[in-house]
Chains A and B, each alone.
Chain A
Amino acid sequence: MSLATVAVRPSRLGRVSRLVRADLLAAVGAVLLVLIVLASLAAPWLAPFPQDGTTATHATQSLLPPGGGHLMGTDQVGRDVLSRLLYGGRTSLFIAAVVLLLAAAVGVALGVIAGYAGGVVRDVIMRVTDVFLAFPALLLSLALAVVLQPSVRTAILAIAATWWPWYTRLTASIASSIRSRGYVDAARCLGVSPARVMLRHVLPNSLTPVLVQLSLDAGGVILTAAALSYLGLGAQEPTSEWGLMVEQGQALFTTDWWVVTFPGLAILVTAFAFNVLGEGLRAALDPRRNAR
């Protein structure tokens, strides 16, 4: 989603497409990502056994190896692994989208205020971000997920609670540099209210780096969400979720490798696609790097 917003800006469209062509790795990431998103969206139509993505179980077909009717085999209760993989993509992408939306909304708002207001307001906000940054994302998520009921919603809240400070830091540094520009002074002298200056002048200038950061972070959020589900603190049965699938299959790894291997690969490929795309976007939109 963030990609599309960057790309429709006419002034950057040419530059982005040219540089994506130059950066083959990022292009591969973009293609992979489009495929993953499409496959997840179309899961109800693509999945060979759509009902296996949710509640259905088939006791007689448990742990069938890949091949024949089940391209990736079946799990211990006879569900088609491929179908659950497709539905699991929906869970992972949904979590990533909501977490990043929440984190960016809170983080950017606080960052713009901190950077524009400066002084004591900035100090207070930045110290609060320091406190939250002292807890590695997975750790605070663990602590929160233990005291709240484990569910997809808890996982989303827990991860978002650890992710917003990065956006505050990023936006605050941009906002404080924009504050001293001539056009902001001009707007202030004309009597434009601080809220309007922030919305019309400071916020739009912070958006590009935030979008790059979002695409860089998506991979990390997906990994964290999968780790939480693996520990039993995220998605719960019968929801299809990749981390949960690995957890459920781990005891069977030696004999029935497919129940663990495919969901793990799905996490890896998705995180990889986001990471290379984010890295490529950063390189493309960073003028300092372009020069070299």
Chain B
Amino acid sequence: MGRYLLRRLGQAALVVVGVLVLTFLIVRVVPGDPAVSVVGPRASPEQLTEAHHRLGLDAPIPVQLWNYVRQLLTGDLGTSLHTHQAVTHDLGVAFPASLELVGAALLLAVLVGMPLGVLAARYRRTGTDVAVRVQSMLAVSLPVFWLALVLQNVFATTLGWFPVAGEYSSSLDSTSPLHVYTNITLVDALITGNWPIFTSTLGHLVLPALVIAAYPMGVVAQLTRAALIEEMGQDHVRMERALGFRERQVLVGFALRPALNPVLSLLALVFAYALVNAFLVESVFNWPGLGRYAADAIRSLDTPAIAGVTLLVAMLYVLVNLAVDLLQSVVDPRVSLR
């Protein structure tokens, strides 16, 4: 176990270094000279050289990479070109909002996807099974940005069942202002007992969360079905059937538990994917998260902001992967022998 832990941590560290180098390279190959945007297009050659020196752009690439990493270690991701604030500050506001949205979506995906998977496994090769499979296949084939537009137009703009955009009604800021602790609006509203904002946020959350939930829901349903069907072929299931348990008890009481493991580790991996899908959805619903921040950054060619978002999501992916692997080796010690 100890050796496995060390090896896995070493691997993760190597990947982190690679991620840093790759992000650095992306920032460095940006067309045009970053110094020009600092001193202006009409600066004299001397001013430009001076700016190059000041920004460290005249140093050899490895030295620049080292400076970049050193800057990152002090928690400095540069200044955003479109909000004119520290990128770390912007991320600190945007990320919790995305987390709120993706968290709600994944919860929804499990609550709907798992029962669908169980249903498909129970009534395998019947109309129900085919319906669930078609539905989950459609869910993973939907272009999220289009689904977001369709739901917004039908259920918000036309029918008026849900708010069109935003995180909560902006008028509430004056009637019942929110005290910010975590930047996750739902949590802040809950711990300060701010019910108007809490319910307003829930209402605003429904449509975007539904859109982001579509993909993980389809994957969860498919995997639950496959894992259950696999489990139903095991000896312990034959035993339970022989003992006279009803099919429903066998399925939900005995077969579902071991089938949960792959679903949970899948969810951790889908998290990063859902976060990126949220990028497309947040712009449509004007949700103040990472995605809208990234979309704005793209429009203004804001490289520090893009690099910051890229770095954050990639690091999250590495950490979540590491956590899943270590958890699995605790649950199933055979993993660490591989």
Residues of chain A at the chain B interface (Cβ within 8 Å): 24-25, 127-128, 130-132, 134-140, 142-144, 146-149, 219, 223, 226-227, 230-233, 243, 246, 250, 253-254, 257, 260-261, 263-264, 267-268, 271-272, 275-276, 279, 292
Contacts and interface: CB of A to CB of B under 8 A. Distances in A.
Interface in B283-324: 284, 294-295, 297-299, 301, 303, 306-307, 309-310, 313-315, 317-318, 321
B137 A272 contact: yes
What secondary structure prevails in chain B residues at the interface with A?
helix
Given A127-B11, A127-B18, 5 more contacts: A134-B318, A147-B303, A230-B143, A271-B142, A279-B137
A134 B314 contact: yes
Contacts of B327: none
A142 B15 contact: no
Interface stretch (B50-58, B259-267, B273-281): B273-281
A163 B23 CA distance: 17
Given A143-B26, A227-B144, A246-B143, A134 B298 contact: no
Interface residues of B, number: 57
A130 B11 contact: yes
A176 B122 CA distance: 38
B310 A140 contact: yes
Contacts of A230: 143, 145, 280
Contacts of B318: 134
B66 interface: no
Contacts of B134: 25
A266 to B, nearest CB: 10
9 nearest CB pairs, A to B: A131-B18, A264-B146, A271-B141, A272-B141, A136-B276, A267-B143, A134-B314, A130-B15, A138-B276
Given A127-B14, A232-B298, A226 B313 contact: no
A226 B141 CA distance: 12
Given A142-B298, A231-B298, A254 B280 contact: no
Given A134-B317, A233-B298, A139 B145 contact: no
A231 B321 CA distance: 28
B314 A135 contact: yes
Given A128-B18, A134-B314, A223-B143, A272 B138 contact: yes
B19 A250 contact: no
